[in-house]
Each structure stands twice: as C-alpha cells, then as structure tokens.
Structure 1
Amino acid sequence: MHRHRELCARAVDPLEIAAALEAHGMTDRTAAHFRHRDVFSLAEEMYARVPRHSSDRSAPPASAHAVPEPVAGAAAGPSRLLTLVLLPALPGALCAGLLAGLAQAPPGRARTLAVVAGVLAVLSAVQLCLRHGPLRSPRPAGVAVRLATLWLLGYAVLGDGLLDAAVRGGPDRLWPVDTATALGLALAMWPAVLCARLFTGGARRRLARSRGLGEFAAATRPLLLASLTCYLAALAGLLALAGAALGAPPALGGAGALGALLLLARLLLVHGHRATPTVALATAAGVELAVLCSVLASRLPGCGFLAVPAETLIEVCGAEAVPTLACAVAAFALLGRAVPALSRASAHTDPGTR
C-alpha cells in the first residue's frame, strides 16, 4: 500500500488497482504471500484501506464505474465522424481513384509519376488512420515494424507476379500487378477501424462491469475472436468486390492472412505490446524475401539447388502459397500471443495508470 499509495488514492474502482498491479508483474501466486487468494482480492483490500483524494470523494456515484473511452470515442459529433467514417474510407477512395485514372491514362512518364503520387497518397491516408482513432498507438511503431509492413503490403501487390516470373527465368518485362488485392486491402481499412473500435470499446465496458480479473479475461477472449472474424469476413467481401469490379481474381488466401496479421499486430501495438508484433511482422517479411532471393540466387553457378523448395511449392500450390503460408503462420502465432495479452485488464486501463 505504501508503494502504490498514489494509485490507490486516485483509483475509482478496485479493478483499476488490480489491473495496475498486474501490469507491474503481480500474480495470484504473489498475492498469496499477502494472504489473499488472487490479485483482485488484494486490490479490494488496498482500495478499502487507502483513503481517497478529496476530489474523488466529491465525485458523483456514477463515476465509480466510469472507464475511459478509447480515443475514437472520446470526441462526439464531427470528431467521431472523422475518425470512424471519413478517415478510414480515405485510403480506399484514393486507391479506387488511382486505378480508375490509370485505366484512362496513356503509358509514359506522366503515368509513372501519377502512380508514384497515388501510392504515396494512399500510404499517407493509411498513416492518418493509424495516428487517429482506435488504431492509434500510444508510441510510434518502430522502424522494423514500418519496413516489414511496407514489404508485406508491397509483396501482396507485386510479389506473386515477380516470383512467378523469376521461377520462369525472368523477369524480362513488367510483371502483372495484383490491383484487386491492392484495392481490397485499401478498402479494408474501414472495417479494421470499426472492428478495433468494437473490441476496445467492448473490453472497456467489460472492465467496468467485471468483478474479477478471471471474469474479465473470460469475457474478453471471445470478443477478440469475434472482432477478428468480423474483419476477415469484411475483408473477404471487399476483396471479392474489388475482383469483380476490376475483372481480376484477387489473392484471397494471401490477402486474408496478411489482413489478419496486420490487424492483430496493430491491436497489440495499440495496447502496449511491441516486441511480439515486431517479431511476427519481420519473420513473415523475412520468409517472403528469403524465398524470392533463393530463386534469384539459384541462377549463380552451382546454386540451382537453392530454388528447389520454392519451385516445388509454386508448382504444387502456385506463387500465392508463399505469402499465404508466411502470413498465416505468423498470424496464428500472433493470435496465440494476442489472446492472453489482450484479455488482461492491464491492457485496457488508462495509460496513465499502467
């Protein structure tokens, strides 16, 4: 109580103290040394024995269960409309406009400049979505996360065609670009923001109603899985819609696995976990890069054996199998880490109390 006196004095609920103790490494086994069955029981005694600040005693009773809303829900009216509707729709709108313009533009230098400007505009819109609203991280993502994400997105659009051409001895000309996957992923920013809002807001409401850490974790785990499922369903629909509009089948497996990986990584970053998503993203990007490099390196004298695994996989399953396997394995591994990490109360408390 002496060590955490300021926290106890400002807390509006025992669960807030329990979440902060959990964030500091307190476990039920540690709480047993203080003759309590779990962390929540210890937090209840600390909450009862440490006097509140005078400002807390004068607060209305309803504030005892008030839980800070996420950033996207804190502002009402125009701000909510901006962060939940307008900004998430911007990447898809810009990508659709870029593809429509390129369909009418003649080949040449102006077309190339338009492509570069359009891609930068789409990436800037995505960055805006990550800086505002439910996907905003308390700390900026590291360089490794940014580079790995850019590589994964670039490979989703350009990688399959490049790898297939490399296996056939090329590329001797411009390989095909998966525009349907690019449009589907850009449009999927909107459901990603909404599903992140659904999970974060639902977890905060459960934090206010829960009577213990175990009850909160049991209620939060299915919420995370439901949010991820809703996003994947929306992503599959948008990819199919983009493929029908552009007359080109998208890479559903690779794009779906990539979408799940990126959403899980971002949720972990939003809730204060940096190491695990960095490793997962870097691993998936590294696998894709290693496969592509092995095919290219096999052209060196005596190095033909390097391309055998990649060529066998592509011959059996197609070039799409490489990003599908890389992202799916990383996404499943990240899901196994995200379920316990995001079902802890300490992941959903106000950052000032962590």
Structure 2
Amino acid sequence: MSGLGELDRPGVPGGAEAWDERSQGWTAGETEAPDDAAGPHPQAPGRLPKLRRTAADPVKTLMHRHRALCERAVDPLEIAAGLEAHGVTDRTAARFRHRDVFSLAEEMYARAAHDEETAPHSTALAAPRARPAWIVLTLLPGALCAATVAALHLTHGRTRTTTVAVGVLAAALALRAALARGPLGATDRTSPGSTQRASAGRTWTCWLVAYALLGDGLLRVAVAGGPDGPPTVSADGPWPPATAPVLALALACAPAAWCAHLFAVCTRRRLGASRGLEEFTASARPLMLGTFALFLSSLTALSALCGAVLGESAAYAQTVTLGALLFLARLLTVHGFSHAPAFVVTATATAEATALASVFAARLPGCGFLATPVETVADAWGAGSVPALVCAAAALTLLIHAARTLARASAHAPADRPW
C-alpha cells in the first residue's frame, strides 16, 4: 500500500469526497447557499458554486475497501491481522479516531453484516489443541529411522540392502505424513507458487539429509585422494556413514512439532490479549526466539543420546545447524511464508554440492586451485566444518527473517487447519 490517502480514498467522481486534515475525516462536497449578509457574489458564467466540506464516515469507507475481509472474519482479531497485512498501522488507525488497529477492527467487525453461516460471534481466538493423530505421526519418522539404523548394523548382505531400502522409504513416507498435518503442516495462506516451491524444497531437503549421512565421509576421503569403494557400515571403514546425525534429526521431528504447537498456542493467546500491533510484536518476538532455543536444546540432547548409543561422533555442529535450518524453514512455511525458506534451503544444498564437486574438479589438469578453499577449511577444522558453516549462515539468515516476519499479527491470523 502506498498510504492511507491512496488505499482508503473513495472513488467519488469529481473529487466530491476528500480527506480533511483539519477535521481528520473524510468530507463530502455540498453546494453552499448564498450568504445574503455578505451581499451578492459575482460569478463567471458556468462557474460551479463553492463547495463546503462536511464530515463523513471514514470507517465505512475502509470497510468498503476491505469488504471481503469483514464478511469472512470470524472475530475482530482476524480483521486486525488482515488490516496489518495490508499495511494499516496504529498510526493509520489514529486517523480513523481509534487508538490502535485492534480497536478499529472491533468497530469494523461490529458494523459488518454477518449472516448465520459466517458469524460465530466469538471474540477469542481458539487455541489449537494437541490431537492424538498428529502426535503419532510426528513419532513415526524417528521410530522407523531407529529401526532402519538397527537393521543396518544387525543384518548383512542382500538382506541388509533390502531392509535398509524398505526402512528408508517407510521413514520418508512417515516424514511426509508428519509434515502434511498437525503443527508442521502448511496452511492454505501460501502463494499460488507454493506447490512448486514445496516440491523443490523437499528435493533439496533430501539432499541435505543425505549429505549429513554420507557427505562428511565422502569429503574426507576425497581430500585424501579417494574414495576407493562404496561406503561401509563399519566405523573403521574408509567411508562410514554418519547414522547418528540422521537419527537425531528424525527423532527431532516430535519436539519440532511440539515447539511449533507451543508457539502457535502462545501467539494466539498474546494476540487476544494485545491492544496494539507494537505490543504484540514486542511479546511475539521473544516467544519465537524462546521456541527456537527450546528446539535447539532438544536436538542437542538427542544428538548426544544417539552418538552414545551408536558409538559414533555426535557431530553437534553439523546436526544442530542443519536442524536449526530445517526447523526455521518449516516454521516459516507453516505460517504461509514459503518463498524465503525454499530459496535458502536450495542455496544451502547448492553450496554443499559445489564444495564437494570442487574437490573432484580439482583433479583435472590445471584446476587444482578449485579445491583450495574447501581443503583449507577441512584441514583446519575437519570435513564436518564445511556443512556446519554453510548451514549456520543459512539458519542465521532465516532466523533474522523469522524474527521480523513471525512477530507480525498477520502471520497468526486464524486459518482453517485440519488439526
């Protein structure tokens, strides 16, 4: 929106209505009667009489501009969130003789014409409730991944290959189901291109998880001049897969869902208690940061547990940074902001693939310089530092974006959810 004057000015032919800065209201043109005491006023032929401005109803004009929002709103808070999404601020509300957007929304809701089907007449936002269905769905990926890791260590030969393939497919399907419903399921407020972005995001997310499983080992042996064969299950092998980080990420699906649920419940309550957009933002931003810290704590504990049980390195840096990136990307997508997460996840996966490809490309004649940055970082801090640095930069970018975006009331407007 370019401003109140352009957004909410009624389209009256001839400019008969205009915003009066002195009376702070919309005014309508009206023909002025001659003043006999002042004597006759000569006028040129065809000149229109002088116009006198009288106060009109600015809220009615705003309701006309946002008629669809007022008709479908189930409570004043939904109107307030919609107005904020269109750029109406508390300062704008003051020009309508209201102290804030929430007060303006209450008047608009009270004056809107609601029929029996669209008026639930409740002024409190219903907080989402925990459902057994999505609770079970969020536990399935971790359980199936744990079973797959156990099969990887306990079986041999063709049986291992078949069992692991089935387990990976089952875990992937369970993860997709967990992301389709419940607190991790995206709302219907995403843009028309969200389907394509979601598909691309899933593809690159699979790449990030695959790199967490095999990438560090491959990069390590590639810098040393290998690999000489496929990855092995043995921890003493030249290219062992890192199962502990992947298992920790799969198990973290449940705490991620609970953290997202907690964030949704608390923000709905804050939205109902707030009396201004600035007040809600001041309370929602620390809540989002606290939710993020809670998830990171859970993921760190799961990483330590998986590393101890499997006898592998916990790989805290790689696991926590990747988990932070995926959690923030999903939290933004859940609230209808899918463009930035898809872009950042794609850029992260591309950076990891480029780092890995540069090591192999350096083996071509005259291209040894291509691997210098990656080899320098790997020699100084280890092969795991490459994905850790990339994911940390991406997660920090999304954290800054989420702190600004998810602190707005419009990000938490009521929406139809299957949970």
Cα deviation digits, residues 154-186 of structure 1 (max 9, x gap): 111111001111111111122210011111111
Mapped pair 1:247 → 2:311: yes
Which residue of structure 1 lines up, in the alignment, with residue 7 of structure 2?
none
Code of the residue aligned with 1:144 in structure 2: it is A
1:92 to 137, 142, 147: 142
Change (3 A) 1:119 1:12: closer
Would the aligned equivalents of 2:74 and 2:118 in 1 still touch at CA under 8 Å?
A: no
TM-superposition CA deviations, 1:17-62 (whole Å, max 9, x none): 12111223434565566566654454344345x24425499967xx
Structure (1/2) with the larger helix percentage: 1
How far, CA to CA, are the matches of 1:322 and 1:153 in structure 2? 15
Mark the CA change 1:333 to 1:58 in structure 2 (over 3 Å): closer, same or farther.
closer
Q: For the structure 1 residues 303 and 209, does the alpha-carbon distance in structure 2 shift closer, same or farther, using more than 3 Å as the test?
A: same
User: Residue 134 of structure 1: SS of its match in structure 2?
Assistant: helix
Where in structure 2 are the equivalents of 1:5-154 lying within 5 Å? 5-28=67-90, 39-48=101-110, 50-53=111-114, 55=116, 63-65=122-124, 67-70=125-128, 73=129, 80-84=131-135, 86-106=136-156, 108-138=157-187, 140=195, 142-154=198-210
C-alpha distance 170-205 of structure 1, shift in aligned 2 (>3 A): same
Report the counterpart of residue 345 of structure 1 in structure 2.
409
TM-score scaled by length of structure 2: 0.76
2: CA distance, partners of 1:111 / 1:44: 63
Which residue type is aligned with residue 64 of structure 1?
A: T
Structure 1 residues 137 and 10: CA distance shift in structure 2, 3 A: closer
Say if 1:15 and 1:212, in contact at 8 Å, map to a contact too: no
Distance across 2 between alignment mates of 1:58 and 1:21: 19
**Correspondence for 1:167:** 223
2:346 equivalent in structure 1 = 282
Q: Give 1:24's aligned amino acid.
A: H
For 1:123, the aligned partner's letter is A
Q: Is the Cα contact below 8 Å between 1:162 and 1:171 reproduced in 2?
A: yes
Of the structure 1 ranges 247-256 and 50-59, higher mean CA displacement relative to structure 2 is found in 50-59
CA distance in 1, matches of 2:76, 2:206: 42
Matches within 5 A, 1:126-275: 126-138=175-187, 140=195, 142-173=198-229, 174=231, 175-275=239-339
Aligned-residue RMSD, C-alpha = 2.2
Q: Distance in 2 between matches of 1:351 and 1:57?
A: 14
1:3 CA displacement: 2.1
CA distance in 1 between counterparts of 2:91 and 2:257 reads: 37
Runs of 5+ in structure 1 lacking a partner? none
For 1:212 and 1:22, the matched residues in 2 are separated by: 11
Q: Distance in 2 between matches of 1:32 and 1:209?
A: 20
Q: 1:201 offset after TM fit, Å?
A: 1.2
Aligned to 1:326: 390
Work out the number of aligned pairs and report it: 339
Q: Verify the 8 A CA contact 2:141 2:175 in the aligned structure 1.
A: yes
Structure 2: distance between partners of 1:239 and 1:57: 48
**TM-score for both structures, normalised by structure 1:** 0.89
- Code of the residue aligned with 1:22 in structure 2: it is E
> Which runs of 5 or more residues in structure 2 are unaligned?
1-62, 189-194, 232-238
The residue matched to 2:184 in structure 1 has which SS? coil
Higher mean C-alpha deviation, range 14-23 or range 314-323: 14-23
Residue aligned with 1:121, SS: helix
CA contact (8 A) 1:191 1:231 kept: yes
> Residues 58 and 194 from structure 1, CA distance in 2 versus in 1: closer, same or farther, beyond 3 angstroms?
closer
SS across alignment from 1:302: coil
* Separation (CA, whole Å) in 2 of partners of 1:171 and 1:238: 31
Judge conservation of contact 2:89–2:100 (CA < 8 Å) in 1: yes
Q: Report the alpha carbon displacement of residue 11 of structure 1 after superposing the two structures with TM.
A: 3.7
2:376 is the alignment partner of 1:317? no
Per chain length, whose mean CA-contact separation is higher, i.e. which structure has more relative contact order (CA < 8 Å, sep 6+)? Answer: 1
Q: Which has the larger radius of gyration?
A: 2
Partner of 2:37: none
CA distance in 2, matches of 1:322, 1:205: 41
Contact in 2 for aligned 1:93/1:187 (Cα 8 Å): yes
Shift of 1:87: 1.5
CA distance in 1, matches of 2:149, 2:73: 52
Shift of 1:192: 0.6
Aligned equivalents of 2:274, 2:117: Cα separation in 1? 21
Higher mean C-alpha deviation, range 37-46 or range 310-319: 37-46
The 8 Å contact of residues 161 and 176 in structure 1, kept in 2 or not, is answered as yes
Could you say if the C-alpha distance between residues 218 and 293 of structure 1 is closer, same or farther in structure 2, counting changes exceeding 3 Å? same
Q: Secondary structure at the match of 1:239?
A: helix
Deviations, residues 65-101 of structure 1 (Å, cap 9, x unaligned): 2x1444xx2xx7xxx12212x2211111111111222
8 Å contact from structure 2 (residues 134, 181) kept in 1:
yes
Query: For the residues of structure 2 that align with 1:102 and 1:275, how far apart are their CA atoms?
Result: 37
Q: Any conservation in 2 of the 1:130–1:136 contact (CA below 8 Å)?
A: yes
Question: Between the two proteins, what is the percent identity of the paired residues?
Answer: 53
Q: Is residue 180–residue 249 contact of structure 1 (8 Å, CA) maintained in 2?
A: yes
